[in-house]
Chain A
């Protein structure tokens, strides 16, 4: 029995080896997509990952991949659940160890859970606009990249925007920070406090318990406080509720400025008329006037390879955000190929190097057709953020209109906070930080 079995086994092994060889011949760059399309935030995930996958297909169709390397991906559904996220990561890890693009989880909780694991497995973890923000300090977090900008820098940029509106002086003003009482909402407090003591305005913190569909007490307090501005850090159903509540107590919406997770179509459309005039920060503009978005619709959806079932989502804030995440990821792959060999699949380690040495100028963004889709980005070992800039956009009742240029947060104030926090993390975990001056 076993004797008969052996040749068969050998044949199978040979054919398997041949199979893997043919697979090797056509280089493929793998993207582990730890994403979510169902669950409480499913509609956000559909738009974001729809944009991400559409851009991968766009590069495949338009340029036959990155220097001939086809982009492939595998999705794993997390439902925005940390434990499922870890399971997905472990499942996709075997494939990702061969070649891996940056991992985007679009969840702070999952990023936190993966931060140690990904460093151990040498896989780059991107956290665009969420996640462990002190990973800006790359000396302690070599494999984690809070790209583009962080909550703290965003808060600082919003304050700067308000300051500019008030002729550069905020002394004596009162600003309410209305936030989702969770890790997400609390991240920015430290920056708001620093800004308050620097600019001498009064900061009033008003937490809203999850999920935030009841805010009567909070808005009563806001009415009593009569703040000059409300800076608003909401999530999911909390956003529309806040806008409706503001309308009810007669608080002007054009004095409310939200974070980038409160500034998508999903947040304002359900609030109807109450949302008009409301402002929010964003690092990517919405709309199809961005050339690459229009081109994706033409090329990818023209070839019937689009990922979205609901085409109306093309050009929304979150869809464009997904595209911007993919643009950055592909640029990192390109950069890595420049150093480690064009036309080859890049490993996580090589992509990590590229993410740390990104330099995407406006000129480059223009060639990509992504002008204004995202700000210029230049990363380094001690700055994994790379930009720290946002735009403020305003909802005119039908669409988001950018009303400012790129605003950079107060780096001198905020970045030392990251370094202090990263240092504490390194101490707790017994990590010896890299010497950034020796990295190249």
Chain B
């Protein structure tokens, strides 16, 4: 019904290979972008920007980063939060030590720094695989946090190790309101998401997937394992690094190394598992699920409790929230082990065949 493609003919290869080959999808995504760029800033409240939309976009970006590495190149990593920390501290130091450096440049440099560190910790992936690699990336998680605590230079000799980010100056204009920060984050995320989508559709992405599916076979057909794996680590860490820089600058405003804990790495990992391993859209869906559902439950549960006249203490609400959240994760994994993105894909297939879905 919605997805009737009758009359949409492709006459060139380019038309056939575009990201959204179906016209309805193209219209949908343009509408979505218009809403995100124009509609949301007009109507959303400050709470929505600072507490929901900005963290959602930042974590979606980090999830894309991890998805490149784990979903596409098949290298399990538990160090995403650490790479975010590298990005956050790098951006802070670039801003601090280079006079007048534009904020976007320092974000990119932060991403590159994280990419460098990522390559370093990706080296073990040449020899070890699977769970063993996960343990090796766990080392990155602990080492980087330790390193940021150990060397006071990295936090500009802050007595507590906590850094407080500088002002966001964008072409001479200081970004102070949540709307402006949101638009900055949104622009960065849109550009990087598009880049990621194109990367995974290119020969690089196909090489990653070949390595993921069977690395011996991949090397037999002429894919060099080392550059492929390390590139995946670099790109993934770049994304996490930029996400980390924005996490510090656009979201919290001050970060400490301990904030980038293993728990956060797991959270990002859960995002891609719930959202869909090996899917860019899954990263967004997963981030939304993991980040927004607890907040939604937090707000909704007291209402429900009031409705039934149950006396809920705030601690009880938190406990119930955790339980319900856990149950929902299990529910979605049982219904669709390949994540929310796959669920959406199935729905779309059915819509295309409407009214005769099989």
Q: Does A401 contact B (CB under 8 A)?
A: no
**Interface of B: prevailing SS:** helix
How distant is the Cα of A113 from the Cα of B253 in the complex, in angstroms? 6
Q: Does B204 contact A (CB under 8 A)?
A: no
Contacts of B253 in A (CB 8 A): 113, 116-117
CB atoms of A38 and B318 under 8 A apart: yes
Contacts of B162 in A (CB 8 A): 108-109, 112, 183
Q: Contact mask A300-317 → B, CB, 8 Å, 1/0?
A: 000000000100000000
CB atoms of B254 and A421 under 8 A apart: no
Contacts of A79 in B (CB 8 A): 318
Q: Which of A210, A309, A421 contacts B159 (CB 8 A)?
A: A421
Nearest chain A residue, comparing its CB with the CB of B252: A113
Q: Does B167 contact A (CB under 8 A)?
A: yes
Q: Which of B254, B298, B314 contacts A37 (CB 8 A)?
A: B314
Nearest chain B residue, comparing its CB with the CB of A35: B314
Count chain B CB atoms within 10 A of each CB in A108, A182, A189, A421 and give the residue with the most: A182
Q: Does A184 contact B (CB under 8 A)?
A: yes
Nearest chain A residue, comparing its CB with the CB of B314: A75
Q: Which stretch, B13-21, B29-37, B46-54, B233-241, touches the partner chain A?
A: B46-54
Nearest chain A residue, comparing its CB with the CB of B50: A90
A113-B253, A113-B254 known; A37-B167 Cβ under 8 A: no
Contacts of A425 in B (CB 8 A): 164
A208 shortest CB reach to chain B, Å: 12
Q: Does A63 contact B (CB under 8 A)?
A: no
CB atoms of B258 and A91 under 8 A apart: no
Q: Does B259 contact A (CB under 8 A)?
A: yes
B139 shortest CB reach to chain A, Å: 14
CB atoms of A86 and B50 under 8 A apart: yes
Q: Does B55 contact A (CB under 8 A)?
A: yes
Q: Does B71 contact A (CB under 8 A)?
A: no
Contacts of B164 in A (CB 8 A): 112, 115-116, 425, 428-429
A37-B314, A428-B166, A429-B166 known; A189-B159 Cβ under 8 A: yes
Q: Which of A115, A116, A210 contacts B258 (CB 8 A)?
A: A210
Q: Which of B46, B47, B149, B299 contacts A181 (CB 8 A)?
A: B149
Q: Does A190 contact B (CB under 8 A)?
A: yes
Contacts of A108 in B (CB 8 A): 160, 162
Q: CB within 8 Å of A: which of B305-330? A: 313-315, 317-319, 322
How distant is the Cα of A93 from the Cα of B48 in the complex, in angstroms? 12
A90-B51, A425-B164, A430-B167 known; A186-B159 Cβ under 8 A: yes
CB atoms of B160 and A186 under 8 A apart: yes
Q: CB within 8 Å of B: which of A71-130? A: 75-77, 79, 82-83, 86-87, 90-91, 93-94, 108-109, 112-113, 115-117, 120
CB atoms of B254 and A83 under 8 A apart: no
Q: Does A46 contact B (CB under 8 A)?
A: yes
How distant is the Cα of A429 from the Cα of B167 in the complex, in angstroms? 6
Contacts of B276 in A (CB 8 A): none
How distant is the Cα of A423 from the Cα of B5 in the complex, in angstroms? 65
Q: Which of A87, A94, A120, A183 contacts B160 (CB 8 A)?
A: A183
How distant is the Cα of A370 from the Cα of B299 in the complex, in angstroms? 37
CB atoms of B167 and A77 under 8 A apart: no
Q: Contact mask A344-365 → B, CB, 8 Å, 1/0?
A: 0000000000000000000000
Q: Does B295 contact A (CB under 8 A)?
A: yes
How distant is the Cα of A75 from the Cα of B314 in the complex, in angstroms? 7
Q: Does A187 contact B (CB under 8 A)?
A: yes
A37-B318, A77-B318, A93-B47 known; A187-B252 Cβ under 8 A: no
Q: Does B251 contact A (CB under 8 A)?
A: yes
Q: CB within 8 Å of B: which of A18-39? A: 35, 37-38
CB atoms of A187 and B50 under 8 A apart: no
Contacts of A428 in B (CB 8 A): 96, 164, 166
How distant is the Cα of A42 from the Cα of B319 in the complex, in angstroms? 12
Contacts of A82 in B (CB 8 A): 252, 255, 259
CB atoms of A109 and B256 under 8 A apart: yes
CB atoms of B258 and A86 under 8 A apart: no
A38-B318, A94-B47 known; A83-B159 Cβ under 8 A: no
Q: Does B275 contact A (CB under 8 A)?
A: no
Q: A83-B55, A183-B161 are in contact. List 14 more A-B contacts (CB 8 A).
A: A35-B314, A37-B318, A38-B319, A75-B314, A90-B46, A91-B299, A93-B46, A109-B256, A112-B164, A113-B254, A117-B50, A182-B256, A209-B146, A210-B258
19 contacts across the A-B interface (CB closer than 8 A): A76-B298, A76-B314, A77-B317, A82-B259, A83-B55, A86-B252, A90-B47, A109-B256, A109-B259, A113-B253, A115-B254, A117-B253, A120-B176, A181-B149, A183-B256, A186-B161, A210-B258, A428-B96, A428-B166
